[in-house]
Amino acid sequence: MRASGYRIRGVVAAGLVVALGCVVPTGTALAYDASDDDPTVTTQASGTVYVDPNAASGPDTYVTIDEAVTNVSDGGTVTLRGDVKINSMVTIEKDVTLDLGGHAVEGPTMFACFLVGENHTVTLDGGGTLQSIHDHVFIVHGTLAIASGTLNTPAGKEALFLPQDKGTVRVSGGTFSSPVLPEWCAEGYVPRTVTPGDASSGYTVGKAIPRPSATDRVYDGTEQFGCDAAEGLQLSGGGTNVGDYTTTVTPADGYAWEPEAGDAAASEQERSEAGSAPVSLAWHMAPKQLEASMAHADDQTYRGSPITPVVVADGDAMLAEGTDFRATYANNTNAGTATYAVTGTGNYVGDLTGMFAIASANIADVTFADVADQTYTGKAIEPGVEATFNGKKLAEGTDYELAYANNTKVGTATITVRGVGNFQGERTLEFAIVRAKATSATSGTSGGSTDTSSVTTSQGGASTLPRTADQGPIDNMLCALVSGAIALVAGTGTRSRRS
């Protein structure tokens, strides 16, 4: 019998039991105190019960884990609502899920925290912490499944103890202060450290995945890594451009590397570190091969200077000349067929060739200076023209030909300009033919030299007239000056032409 004033609870296993003078039915929890005349009876909770050391006891809430385990139904759940201190090892003789609810459980100063009875299964979940003060956290005679939670033990003590030929452990999660043995791992899981390759961070398990191997890449404009992305892999050290790289691969939380040959000979700590140690993959990104469909040049029109129209694109991405490719051209100035050659550089490699047409420019796009007015000569007048195109002076016969109309008489003449060579089409220009202006000759100021000639009048007298050098003789004609007028007399002399 426990000391007076200490309440003891028990569970009626089957049938009717007479206890301290009472008859209680099957499935009833007995709560009694040595000072009481009769035991306190509570009905066993089915499903979920709670542990709250700061709350009064009730049908579903208990102060200790021991009480809760005693009163939970087989297959039920014990959920913590606060931190708990265990004074003595709790023996669990039923199938129970222990949900720590993120709280802490401190073990007794002697012995382990829990003992899992033979032929029963206990599942640990809900996070939280189990701290053993003296020994193991669990002694397992039955089956223990650990999905989450932190299990801490004194130095040199394993978290779990399985007596010889007894007990099964299935660890698929959780964190341990001591290494997790391979035989504790659930199927498909292997030991690893919490922080990749660092045992000081604690131990855990992960779903086994193979270590990746390095794979070289070809440039595609995106960031790439030395292996393919896959479930459970964390990748760093990628590359975008052509070059050499090192990708670091670590298993994500909940994953670990499959053991390799030689791991069995390592210590438990070394095996755990190897299970999550980063893997370095050295790889190379090669340039992408240019394809014929990538390069294109539209047909052009003559512009008087070299034309460089080639465009290179990789899908929707426009490639940059000088960075991604170099281009050279031939026959790319004058009208006709031009060719180009493209050579990949940087992230691209390979050579491409192609052609494009350069059409003759329209003569209508040529700039012509106004044609100056011309003076009537009695003959056809054919003045030249001044033509420029994009700042370049054009040449008759090379770039254009001229044809004239109405270009003899006074009036408006036309010039038909027809493009040749790099030009095509026709254009009409106009110029004016104007009358010649009459001018007076004055002695001493005329354009010719002046002398005097003697002429004989009909009266036999003689008179002197000025004569320019361009006047010619007139047979049988005489000129006389009478009262300021000029008279023509038959005889020998010269003709005066005012011009």
Residue 22, pLDDT score: 35
CA 140 to CA 138: how far, in whole Å? 6
Q: What strand order describes the sheet that includes 77-80?
A: 61-62, 48-51, 77-80, 96-99, 121-125, 143-146, 168-171
* Pairwise CA distance, residues 287 & 347, whole Å: 5
Give CA–CA dist 277/181, Å, rounded: 17
What's the pLDDT at 44?
Answer: 52
Picking from 105, 160, 108, the residue whose alpha carbon sits closest to that of residue 131 is 105
Domain spanning 291-359: which CATH class is it, in words? Answer: mainly beta
pLDDT in tens, the chain (499 residues): 333 333 333 333 333 333 333 333 333 333 333 333 443 344 454 589 999 988 776 678 999 999 999 999 999 999 999 999 999 999 999 999 999 999 999 999 989 999 999 999 999 999 999 999 988 999 999 999 999 999 999 998 999 999 987 899 999 999 999 999 999 999 999 999 999 989 999 999 999 999 999 999 999 999 999 999 999 999 999 999 999 999 999 999 999 999 987 666 678 999 999 999 999 999 999 999 999 999 999 999 999 999 999 999 999 999 999 999 999 999 999 999 999 999 999 999 999 999 999 999 999 999 999 999 999 999 999 999 999 999 999 999 999 999 999 999 999 999 999 999 999 999 999 999 999 987 655 444 444 444 444 444 334 444 444 443 344 443 333 333 333 333 333 333 333 333 2
Decide if 154 contacts 132 (C-beta within 8 A): yes
pLDDT for the residue numbered 164 = 82
State the fold for domain 362-434.
Immunoglobulin-like (2.60.40)
The size of the chain, in residues, is 499
Predicted confidence at residue 494, as pLDDT, reads 34
Q: What is the pLDDT of residue 261?
A: 77
**Where in 166-276 does DSSP place strands (E)?**
168-171, 175-176, 189-195, 198-209, 217-218, 233-236, 243-251, 255-257
Q: What is the reported pLDDT for 414?
A: 98
Domains 291-359 and 362-434 share a fold: yes
| Domain boundaries of the chain, sorted by first residue | 291-359, 362-434, 450-494
